[in-house]
Amino acid sequence: MLAALWLLSIPAAWAKPPQPLRIYFIDVEGGQSTLVLGPSKQSMLIDAGFAGERDADRIAAAMKAAGIKQLDYLVITHYHGDHAGGVPDLASRVKIDAFVDHGPNTEDSSSTKDIYTAYEKVTAHAKRVSIKPGEGLPFKEIRVEFLAAAGEHISDPLPGAGEANPYCAGEPTATTDTSENSQSLGLLISYGKFSFLDMGDLTKKKEIDLVCPNNWIGTVDLYLTTHHGADPDNPKALVWALHPLVAVMNNGPHKGGSAAAWEIVHDSPGLADLWQLHYSVDAGKEHNSVETVIANVDEKSDGNLIKVTAQPDGSFDVENSRNGYLKSYHRNE
């Protein structure tokens, strides 16, 4: 009987711990490219940075570090050059199973039209999905849901969200933006108790619509600053309502990382740390984080990245590839 009980206990004793969710914030000099690797190694790249070999090389290096050779999804938040410009270069060297976007380009500028034409050429004979708010992607273990797309947003609050947002009062009125930025895909990635929000370059009025007068998103553990930490995007009514534990700013030395946006995020109640892909030269020392949590501290970038490793219990580590600095986080419940 004792032997039988011992044998029955073996599976529990040998049970493997859950595999983590990994997120790589790749340095594309103030654009965006974020690699997401699920516990089952399903992969998604959010945006492809600028055109040229530099960003494609850095994305390929991040994929190699993650142990993958192809992408299940390439999500393009919108068709500006710092997000979608790198698609042709990346697609020429990496197999991409499916492309995800908000639908046709809406901007009349010649540069954006050219980028969208190049994107259409790449996706002409590939699987392409145009997402609507409330839809998601079929990942195992993790949940990927789109909150905003093509200027629209979800029609109901997320589970547990929907409370009145006290930070809406006094928020300056947002102007209407008709650029591709306002069409950005915004997505929430959840793994158990852990959550990560990325809203591309969504503009202030669209951000406010999601959280005022009621916060339809709720709180998140990890927040990627919208529009590379630009102002007036990242308004207090959004950031403070999200109550992030950690924020990452995907700025460049002279792109994004504005002093006003940095201060709003930095002062958000409950924020433990604000990590940056670059030292923001234009913002000044008083509006930059300590160097240990900045991936690239010189004006000339070395392409260092920020890596997040998250567990379903809500705990996560953030690591700076430049110096190996790693810090663990877990929200007090």
Question: Domain range holding 151?
Answer: 19-315
pLDDT band at 1 (very low <50, low <70, confident <90, very high): very low
Over residues 16-74, the pLDDT tens digits come to 778 999 999 999 999 999 999 999 999 999 999 999 999 999 999 999 999 999 999 99
Residue 119 in any domain: the answer is yes
The alpha-helical segments, DSSP class H, found in 17-66 are 53-66
Residue 1 in any domain: the answer is no
Please determine, for residue 311, whether its predicted confidence score (pLDDT) is greater than 70: yes
What rounded mean pLDDT belongs to the chain? 94
Residue 5 in any domain: the answer is no
pLDDT band at 11 (very low <50, low <70, confident <90, very high): low
Residue 330 in any domain: the answer is no
164: Cα separation from own chain's centroid: 25
Residue 9 in any domain: the answer is no
Tell me the two tokens of residue 166. Answer: 């006290």
The alpha-helical segments, DSSP class H, found in 67-212 are 81-84, 87-91, 110-123, 204-211
Please tell me the distance from the alpha carbon of residue 315 to that of residue 23, in angstroms, as a whole number. 14
pLDDT band at 15 (very low <50, low <70, confident <90, very high): low
Please tell me the distance from the alpha carbon of residue 294 to that of residue 290, in angstroms, as a whole number. 7
Please determine, for residue 117, whether its predicted confidence score (pLDDT) is greater than 70: yes
Rounding to the nearest 10 degrees, give the CA dihedral for residues 61, 67, 68, 73: -80
CATH of the domain at 251: 3.60.15.10
Report the pLDDT averaged over residues 154-179.
Answer: 94
Integer CA distances (angstroms), 257 to 147, 262, 272, in order: 24, 6, 18
Residue 288 in any domain: the answer is yes
Residue 327 in any domain: the answer is no
Please tell me the distance from the alpha carbon of residue 295 to that of residue 280, in angstroms, as a whole number. 11
Torsional class of 30: left (φ above 0), alpha (ψ -120 to 50), beta (otherwise): left
Tell me the two tokens of residue 278. Answer: 């670059």
Our count of domains for the chain comes to 1
